[in-house]
Amino acid sequence: MLDDGDQMNLDGKIALVTGAGQGIGKSTALLLAEEGADVAVVDINGEAVETTRTQIAESGRRTIAIQADMGELTDIERIVADTARDLGGIDILVNNAAITWQRQFMDITEDDWDRIHRVNAKGAFFCMQRAARQMIEQGHGGRIINLASVAGQGWPGTSNAAYAASKGAVISMTRIGAHSLGSHDINVNAICPGVTSTPLFDNMIARRAEELGVQETELRRRITESIPIGRYSEAEDIAAMAVFLAGPGGRNIAGQCLNVDGGLIMQ
């Protein structure tokens, strides 16, 4: 049996977190380290990810920072190889890197579609595949946690239908990955955040408020009123779910897409 103190203990584990320069990725990387994991952090913004690395190092955990474009397969190969070489393997992948921007349905272009899917769908799949190869080679299982979104389940408040489609792809890949990798004792799950306070969200709120001709505080009030629990998530709320799935308490959870959304979508 697992006691309460074992639910999130990650002592001796090695984690790789993409999109760790800010927001959900950064919060997750810091919480993984707090729970005992050594953490490789990756972001396209080298300065931001170095800041995350410094904070983890100050906690006493081993860590490396890698600047990479998650839409480039050669970069994906490099981040897995560097993590395995410098930290000794990979036990946990938090597949978080993603991009989006505000775009109305009728305004989405082919370039919008390709840019978003290059990172959010293609990059997510090949990062999952490459990390799984490393885990299989190690021979003692692992955890893959993909960051999807309630947008991928058809939430109409999404900022961009191309983004929603890319996150729907992440949900499908998660379920298929769980079936494909379960025999190797690799658990694959997804987290579907709802409205979450991150720098990306703040930027989108500012742009949308300007488009609508309202104050940001008024737009935030409208959004909050649409959430049954009456508040949107903080990045730490998503991080807590990721760390739970990575720990002993998540050992028998596989192929699930878990909403952290204040009740926006109830299943």
Give the C-alpha distances (Å, rounded to integers) separating 234 from 90, 146, 170, 255.
Answer: 27, 18, 22, 24
Span between the terminal Cα atoms of the chain, in Å: 28
Give the C-alpha distances (Å, rounded to integers) separating 266 from 174, 222, 241.
Answer: 19, 20, 17
* Residue type at position 37: A
Which residue numbers are catalytic?
163
Using CA atoms, how far apart are residues 69 and 106, in angstroms rounded to an integer?
Answer: 28
Give the C-alpha distances (Å, rounded to integers) separating 255 from 101, 174, 221.
Answer: 28, 6, 35
Using CA atoms, how far apart are residues 149 and 8, in angstroms rounded to an integer?
Answer: 23
H/E element, 223:
helix 216-225
